[in-house]
Structure 1
Amino acid sequence: MTSVVSSSITTIRIGSRKSQLALIQTHWVKEQLSLKFPNIQFEVHTMSTKGDKILDVPLAKIGDKALFTKELELGMMNREIDFAVHSLKDLPTRLPEGLGLATITERENPADALVVHEKHKDKQIETLPEGAVIGTSSLRRLAQLRHHFPHFEFKDVRGNLNTRLGKLDSGEYDALILAAAGLGRLGMAERVHQVIPKEISLHAVGQGALGIECLADNEKLISLLKSIEHPQTRDRCLAERAFLRELEGGCQVPIGVNTEINGDELTLTGIVASIDGTKRVQDTVSGSLSEPEKIGTQLAQRLREQGAQEILEEIFATLDRS
């Protein structure tokens, strides 16, 4: 494959957001591809997305399912870049016509993490004091944590990771809930005070994995990108994304998941919760690893029968009013 691809392509342009984490992820992809295709020159081109520019409004209220991807997708359609690297959790499950998810790389720990102020270093999330101010910009985390810890005060937090950690360390928050994978990729794994158990918070669809998007008809490029795909991560994330797509939920709604693979069986657990944490439906479906999207669709249908659609419609109505 290498000789066929590299003989017909000499330079490939990679699109990335400008954030520190996005660039680390993109350069990791560039390095992996450069090792496999040393005769190809890979160039990183950066762009600012809508989600990067609007930092004073909670993500869920901006009202756009492609907050961190749209500009990159336009770049691909305009032939300014050849492919884009995304945090898979930010990539909508329905892509613009002509674009496709070419590959999914090996997943880092998809769990949420508790990061605490120094004064709480002897605490876990279960033992933080009543009234503790917890920072998160995710409705999914908010809904699940409110259910388990109604005595906490939750406050939105935006900005890059260093900005958010600075607000925590200055005392504006008692703790933050962040993605363990992002902290690890930024070399800040030591800030993970506690990995939040899945019994408390199921993670976001695609969290911890990178998704690479390109023009759906560029077969040579897709063949090249498949060389760094991780099959187990791909199957887990395809199941998760099918679940989210069937529920017609966006990246910013309170939908959480967990996937496990045992032999040739994939098990998917999913939850839909109201923002205040008072309503929630959760279930689990197992099936053949060869049909991951079928498992996701079945789980979504099962949760819809248990009231998930009504919960989501209430959330969308609330967000529209705000």
Structure 2
Amino acid sequence: MVVPTPLVIGTRASPLALAQAHETQSRLMIAHGWAAETLPLAPIKTTGDAIQDRALSEAGGKGLFTKELDIALLEGAIDLGVHSAKDLPTGLPDGIVIAGYLPREDVRDAFISRDYKGIGDLPEGAIVGSASLRRQAQLRRLRPDLTVTLLRGNVQTRLAKLERGEVHATLLAMAGLRRLGLTDHVTTILDTNDFLPAVGQGAIAITIRADDERVRTALEPILDPETGHAVAAERSFLTVLDGSCRTPIAGHARIVGDALEIRGLVLRPNGADSLDVVRHGHVDDAAALGREAGLDLRARMPDGFLEV
């Protein structure tokens, strides 16, 4: 395939976002035999990156990490946007679509502490920092005696705060730690049976202009259909529940052969109560299975469930 002009890759400017953009660039170079200069990176600072003093749920939710990239894409300043799939809102702006996903990394969360081996080993009142309402709610469900606090910043910033003793422990995505070469910081990897991940966790999503067939065709060789089916189920589940950074929701789809299993979980923010669901079916019905799972939970959710 001949590319008449460079494909500009838009990305957030954080170290993890840049690592994901470089992975996308590298896969395109290998797939097509292109030189790096034909695939320049365009780091863009987002509103979400600038907010460090409060939870994103208080500032507007997931779209804070994508708004500036969406604008650049629609204006033609970039040709594709590289995102952590879990940061993408369920509704995208008109004119933008998800072209697909790179092969998924480890979906699990990691427990990280200087002094304790796992969540169960933390003493009463220990301070655990996290920016995720999902992780906060799951921690409170498991250990209501812990002090769960906000911990913002990129991965390196959070690890530095842990080293300075600002918190006794934190939780981070294994995928990000692997992509940054920081797995030596991991104390324990949390089993998904005990700690269900965020929708889209571990997956890199690529957005494009809906009518840009040149970019869509260029991306086809590097996209992973299995990841696409799994995340389609998860995002369909999340959409039904109107999930955002304001909502403690977890969801994970697993594919074996032609079979897909999706597990979903919604929690009260204080962790005092939760509802879960499991659906099985054919991989071709991924989105429908996710929707069924979401409708099941929504039907069983008491009024005001997410407000307590």
What TM-score results when the alignment is normalised by the length of structure 1?
A: 0.92
Percent sequence identity is: 39
Equivalent position SS for 2:27 = helix
Query: Which residue is 1:319 aligned to?
Result: none
Equivalent position SS for 1:164 = helix
Structure 1 residue 38: deviation in Å? 2.5
Equivalent position SS for 2:63 = coil
Match for 1:159 among 148, 153, 157?
A: 153
The answer on whether the counterparts of 1:10 and 1:39 sit within 8 Å (CA) in structure 2 is: no
Structure-2 change in CA distance of 1:105 and 1:186 (3 Å)? same
Give the partner amino acid of 2:65.
F
After superposition, where does 1:191-210 map in structure 2 within 5 Å?
191-210=185-204
Structure 1 residue 258: deviation in Å? 2.1
Structure 1 residue 252: deviation in Å? 4.3
Match for 2:180 among 178, 186, 195?
A: 186
Match for 1:96 among 90, 93, 97?
A: 93
After superposition, where does 1:179-258 map in structure 2 within 5 Å?
179-258=173-252
Structure 1 residue 227: deviation in Å? 1.3
The answer on whether the counterparts of 1:272 and 1:308 sit within 8 Å (CA) in structure 2 is: no
Residues 166-212 of structure 1, C-alpha deviations (whole Å, 9 max, x = no match): 11111111101111111111100111111112233210010001000
CA distance in 1, matches of 2:147, 2:41: 41
Query: Which residue is 1:26 aligned to?
Result: 21
Structure 1 residue 64: deviation in Å? 3.4
CA distance in 1, matches of 2:158, 2:207: 29
Match for 1:61 among 58, 63, 72?
A: 58
Equivalent position SS for 2:70 = helix
CA distance in 2, matches of 1:301, 1:107: 26
Query: Which residue is 1:126 aligned to?
Result: 120
CA distance in 2, matches of 1:37, 1:10: 14
Structure 1 residue 39: deviation in Å? 4.2
Equivalent position SS for 1:220 = helix
Match for 2:258 among 257, 261, 264?
A: 264
Equivalent position SS for 1:203 = coil
The answer on whether the counterparts of 2:111 and 2:172 sit within 8 Å (CA) in structure 1 is: yes
User: Does 2:43 match 1:46?
Assistant: yes
Equivalent position SS for 1:28 = helix
The answer on whether the counterparts of 1:247 and 1:309 sit within 8 Å (CA) in structure 2 is: no
Equivalent position SS for 2:218 = helix
Match for 1:116 among 107, 110, 113?
A: 113
Query: Which residue is 2:4 aligned to?
Result: 9
CA distance in 2, matches of 1:192, 1:236: 26
The answer on whether the counterparts of 2:133 and 2:245 sit within 8 Å (CA) in structure 1 is: no
Query: Which residue is 2:83 aligned to?
Result: 86
The answer on whether the counterparts of 2:132 and 2:245 sit within 8 Å (CA) in structure 1 is: no
Equivalent position SS for 2:277 = strand
Structure-2 change in CA distance of 1:223 and 1:252 (3 Å)? farther
Equivalent position SS for 1:211 = strand
The answer on whether the counterparts of 2:229 and 2:286 sit within 8 Å (CA) in structure 1 is: yes
Match for 2:72 among 62, 70, 75?
A: 75
The answer on whether the counterparts of 1:103 and 1:228 sit within 8 Å (CA) in structure 2 is: no
Residues 81-133 of structure 1, C-alpha deviations (whole Å, 9 max, x = no match): 1011001100112110000000111111111110102x32xx22112211111
CA distance in 1, matches of 2:252, 2:34: 39
Report runs of 4+ in structure 1 exceeding 6 Å deviation: none
After superposition, where does 1:140-159 map in structure 2 within 5 Å?
140-159=134-153
Structure 1 residue 308: deviation in Å? 6.3
Query: Which residue is 2:102 aligned to?
Result: 105
CA distance in 2, matches of 1:308, 1:145: 22
Structure-2 change in CA distance of 1:306 and 1:71 (3 Å)? same
Unaligned regions of 5+ residues in structure 1, if any? 316-322
Structure 1 residue 224: deviation in Å? 1.3
Structure 1 residue 283: deviation in Å? 0.9
Unaligned regions of 5+ residues in structure 2, if any? none
Structure 1 residue 309: deviation in Å? 6.4
Residues 130-149 of structure 1, C-alpha deviations (whole Å, 9 max, x = no match): 11111101000111110111
* Number of corresponding residues: 306
CA root-mean-square deviation: 1.4
Query: Which residue is 1:318 aligned to?
Result: none
CA distance in 1, matches of 2:294, 2:280: 13
